[in-house]
Amino acid sequence: MSASLEIQLIAVTAATGCALVGVFLVLRSMAMMADAISHTVLLGIVLIFFIVQDLQSPWLLIGAAAMGLLTVSLVEALNRTKLVKQDAAIGLVFPALFSLAVILISRYARGVHLDVDMVIMGELALAPFDRVTIFGLDLPHALATLSAILLINIVFILVFYKELKLSTFDPALAAAFGFSPALLHYGLMALVSVTAVGAFDAVGAILVVALIVTPAASAYLLTDDLRKMLLLSVAIGAGSALAGYWLARLLDANIAGSMATMTGVVFLIVFVLAPQRGVLTQLRRQALQRWRFAQTMLIIHLLHHEGAPDAAVECRAEHLQAHLRWQPDFAAQVIRDAERSGAVHQERGLLRLTDHGRRLAEAAMVR
Amino acid sequence: MNTHLPVATTSAAIEVTDMTVAYGDKPVLWDVDLETPPGVLMAVVGPNGAGKTTLIKAILGLVPAAAGQVLIHGKPYHAQRQRVGYVPQRGSVDWDFPTSVLDVVMMGRYGRLGWFRRPGKAERDLAMQALEQVGMAEYAQRQISQLSGGQQQRVFLARALVQDADVYFMDEPFQGVDAMTERAIVDLLKGLRSAGKTVVVVHHDLQTVSEYFDWVTLLNVRCVASGPVSQVFTDENLRKTYGGRIAFVGRANNAEPTPGRISTPAPAIGV
């Protein structure tokens, strides 16, 4: 395998794992917890590293998972005191643990492979140099780790799909059924921690959150089905990873930054163009509603004054501007459309409802 | 074991003894005793903050009780999960969750399925039946965010129906629904009662208590009274429950409710 292909594989594997857990974090409104965890796991890694003195050890993942759970517990404990709100609690816990990790690395682990820049920024370009042989295959170490993590993520979500769905949507019912939402919650948080550690290799601690939150948030805007949301999130995550890699090559820039940027670009496109929930669709829908409402207002106004003594005044096109407070251009357009749809016809400036228009107006009044 | 537990009461559908729940040192439920026979439709009424929702949650073990014991048909709740159905408040879930109406109703079967087992055709069929019962069959494939409040409530009820429980706890099923849906829900509840189920409903509208229910619990941190509507839904008990606020909760149709008067069609009122 060429180094280029290996790097892309690593990027895609990391992004896929993140995109999967991201869906449940976004649905549980816990995106910022992902940010916190992706930083504090560093402390877990550093502490375990001091004990085992080996950066390849699987114990590092265990330490990271434990630190992730500690983070969540501390945030929840702070929150429970009611002295600190959830977002502030996250803002207190995560810098504390993260800064401790940074101090420990810079003071005691300098010169080792573990260096601050690498952990914070990630250095995907160097990943192929660190190799390991598994089942006779000579692989980059990061790829092996990330594949294992991805596998754990997939198995966890497949096995607990039903339980995760219920406890995310309706935790009270899940608890009443005896499914222990707390257990699932901490299981998921452990998974996020491990996934974040894996993704360090690809994008570093700061940008992990982009891989976790952005693809899921984009997928959320595109579908109404949890399964599809998971698949779309993965597709968007993997696609952004690849696009980011090539962007980095094109610009000769940092790969992690480019990948995170691409997730943002995809989100922006989805945010504007999503078929149901995109900004553009919503604006168009609002405009259409305003237009339809104006049509209805016009025919109801005409129905009210039909045959009344003041009809000659009220039903004149010019009068609408004053009475309904419409701009002249707008009023003219509404009248033109109403004429075209056959609801209204105009005779010497006087507007009359057609039979069709009268039925429409009466139906609108009933509703 | 509590020595003063009532003994020969295993026939009760719900038996709550000395239930106390506190948040910090503030009691939300104070020494509540409750005994509900099977096959009744019971309203739980009381002012805001009376602990109505907490009572249900404590019975279901969703909030820790400082003291007390709960028996459902003679056994603790955790041994009877399959026989208990729960309808939380409509507002307690995220209706923008990416899922369909049918899928939400199928969630009612998850308890029977237990860990790991996946819902299949049997669950789908049951869910469709329940949706037909609540008149929502045509909405099965709808995304849940497109439902009105009344439709959401019907979906929740359908989800409770597929639980096929013996005892149901419903937290404000009438909240924010239109008159037609309220009617439909009442018919459904009465149907459940005819089928021998016990249904406990947190309810807010005192005016409809005697029309909809045959059993009532008046709650205000303590259990003021619990029993047949004709016996315990009295002027005196209501005043004990609501204190001076009775005139306002009575929701009289006249603009100025007379203080002290209870504008409910409760029988056995002697004002």
Residues A127 and A6 sit within 8 Å (Cβ to Cβ): yes
Q: Which of these ranges, A343-347, B115-119, B160-164, B266-270, has the smallest mean pLDDT? A: B266-270
Helix (H) or strand (E) holding B47: none
**pLDDT average, residue stretch B77-98:** 91
How high does pLDDT run on average in chain A?
87
Beta-sheet pairing, A350-353 with A344-347: antiparallel
The answer on pLDDT for B182 being more than 50 is yes
Interface pTM, i.e. ipTM: 0.83
Distance (Å) of CA B9 to CA B6, B17, B80 = 6, 12, 17
Q: 3-class DSSP state for residue B162?
A: helix
pLDDT of residue B159: 95
Q: Phi/psi at B196 (nearest 5 deg)?
A: 85, 10
pLDDT of residue B171: 94
The answer on pLDDT for B258 being more than 60 is no
Q: Which of these ranges, A323-332, B91-100, B199-208, has the smallest mean pLDDT? A: A323-332
User: What angle in degrees, to the nearest 10, is found between the helix axes of A59-80 and A31-52?
Assistant: 130
pLDDT, tens digit, for every residue of A333-361? 888 888 888 888 887 778 888 888 888 88
| Same fold? A3-238, A280-366 | no
Q: B92 vs A172: CB contact, 8 Å cut-off?
A: yes
- Spatial CB neighbours of A86, under 8 Å, sequence gap ≥ 6: A75, A79
Residues B240 and B271 sit within 8 Å (Cβ to Cβ): no
CATH number for A3-238: choose from 2.40.50.140, 3.40.190.10, 1.10.645.10, 1.10.3470.10.
1.10.3470.10
Distance (Å) of CA B184 to CA A157, B193, B214 = 38, 14, 18
Q: Classify domain A280-366 at the CATH class level.
A: mainly alpha
Distance (Å) of CA B222 to CA A273, A338, B23, B112, B240 = 56, 64, 15, 34, 11
Per-residue confidence at B49, pLDDT binned at 50, 70, 90? confident
pLDDT of residue B262: 44
Beta-sheet pairing, B26-36 with B14-23: antiparallel
Measure the CA–CA gap between B170 and B44, rounded to whole angstroms: 10
pTM of the model: 0.83
Closest partner CB to B86 (pick from A173, A220, A224):
A173
Among B62, B87, B97, the strongest candidate for a mutation testing the A interface, having the largest count of A CBs within 10 A, is: B97
Per-residue confidence at B3, pLDDT binned at 50, 70, 90? very low
Set of chain A residues whose Cβ sits within 8 Å of the Cβ of B116: 159
Measure the CA–CA gap between A318 and A332, rounded to whole angstroms: 9
Per-residue buried b or exposed e for B93-120, using 16+ beta carbons within 10 Å of the residue's own CB: bebebbbbbbbbbbbbbbbbbeeeeebe
| Distance in Å, alpha carbon of A165 to nearest chain B alpha carbon | 9
The answer on pLDDT for B238 being more than 50 is yes
pLDDT, tens digit, for every residue of A252-273? 988 888 999 999 999 999 999 9
Share of chain B above pLDDT 90, in %: 60
Closest partner CB to A169 (pick from B60, B78, B99):
B99
| Distance in Å, alpha carbon of B238 to nearest chain A alpha carbon | 31
Q: A176 vs B84: CB contact, 8 Å cut-off?
A: yes
Closest partner CB to B78 (pick from A168, A178, A225):
A178
Among B70, B83, B110, B167, the strongest candidate for a mutation testing the A interface, having the largest count of A CBs within 10 A, is: B110
Q: Which of these ranges, A88-97, A355-364, B147-156, B180-189, has the smallest mean pLDDT? A: A355-364
Closest partner CB to B88 (pick from A172, A178, A223):
A172
In the beta sheet, which residues pair with residue B84? B167
Share of chain B above pLDDT 70, in %: 86
Q: 3-class DSSP state for residue B263?
A: coil
The answer on pLDDT for B251 being more than 70 is no
Set of chain B residues whose Cβ sits within 8 Å of the Cβ of A179: 110, 115
In chain A, where are the structural domains located? Answer: 3-238, 280-366
pLDDT, tens digit, for every residue of A66-100? 999 999 999 999 988 889 888 899 999 999 999 99
| Distance in Å, alpha carbon of B81 to nearest chain A alpha carbon | 6
- CA B144 to mean position of chain CA atoms: 23
In a 13 Å sphere around the CA of A104, the CA atoms on its Cβ side amount to 18
Q: B104 vs A162: CB contact, 8 Å cut-off?
A: no
Among A25, A224, A226, the strongest candidate for a mutation testing the B interface, having the largest count of B CBs within 10 A, is: A224
How high does pLDDT run on average in chain B?
85
Measure the CA–CA gap between A334 and A328, rounded to whole angstroms: 10
pLDDT, tens digit, for every residue of A1-53? 788 899 999 999 999 999 999 999 999 999 899 989 988 988 998 899 889 88
Measure the CA–CA gap between A35 and A71, rounded to whole angstroms: 11
Set of chain A residues whose Cβ sits within 8 Å of the Cβ of B84: 176
The answer on pLDDT for B195 being more than 50 is yes
Residues of chain B in Cβ contact (below 8 Å) with chain A: 57, 60-62, 78, 81, 84, 86, 88, 92-94, 97-100, 104, 107, 110-111, 113, 115-119, 143, 145
Q: B97 vs A225: CB contact, 8 Å cut-off?
A: no
Measure the CA–CA gap between A213 and A203, rounded to whole angstroms: 14
Closest partner CB to B110 (pick from A166, A172, A229):
A166
Among B26, B94, B163, the strongest candidate for a mutation testing the A interface, having the largest count of A CBs within 10 A, is: B94
User: What angle in degrees, to the nearest 10, is found between the helix axes of A86-108 and A59-80?
Assistant: 140
pLDDT of residue A112: 62
**pLDDT average, residue stretch A275-301:** 88
| Distance in Å, alpha carbon of B267 to nearest chain A alpha carbon | 36
Residue among B245, B271, B270 nearest B259 (CA): B245
Return the top range by mean pLDDT from A41-50, A233-242, A313-322.
A233-242
Residue among B223, B161, B97, B168 nearest A171 (CA): B97
pLDDT, tens digit, for every residue of A151-177? 999 999 999 999 999 999 999 999 999
pLDDT of residue A219: 97
Distance (Å) of CA B116 to CA A161, A162, A181, B87 = 8, 8, 14, 23
